[in-house]
Amino acid sequence: METIMKLLCITGMPCAGKTTAIKILSSKFSVVSMGDVIRREMKEKNIDEDMREYSTELRKKDKGYVAKICIPEITEIAKISKTCIVDGIRNYEEVGEFRKLYNVVLLAIHASPKKRYERFTNRQRSDDNLTYDGFINRDIAELNWGLGNVIALSDLIISNEDDDAEKFKENLIVEISRIEKL
> Residue 122: its pLDDT value, please?
85
Look at residues 90, 106, 99, 98 and name the one whose alpha carbon lies nearest to residue 153: 106
According to the model, what pLDDT value does residue 1 have?
43
pLDDT tens digit sequence for 86-107: 999 999 999 999 999 999 999 9
- The whole-angstrom separation of Cα 31 and Cα 86 is 6
* pTM of structure: 0.88
What is the total residue count of the chain? Answer: 182
Strand partners, 6: 83, 103
Q: At what angle do helices 65-78 and 92-99 cross, to 10 degrees?
A: 40
Residue 87: count other Cβ atoms within 10 Å of its Cβ.
20
pLDDT in tens, 146-175: 999 999 999 999 999 988 889 999 999 988
Pick the more confident residue, 123 or 60.
60
Question: Residue 64: which of 97, 40, 33, 39 has the closest Cα?
Answer: 97
Structural domains for the chain: 6-181 (3.40.50.300)
Chain mean position to CA 27? 17
What's the pLDDT at 52?
Answer: 85
* Residues 108/12, Cβ–Cβ less than 8 Å: yes
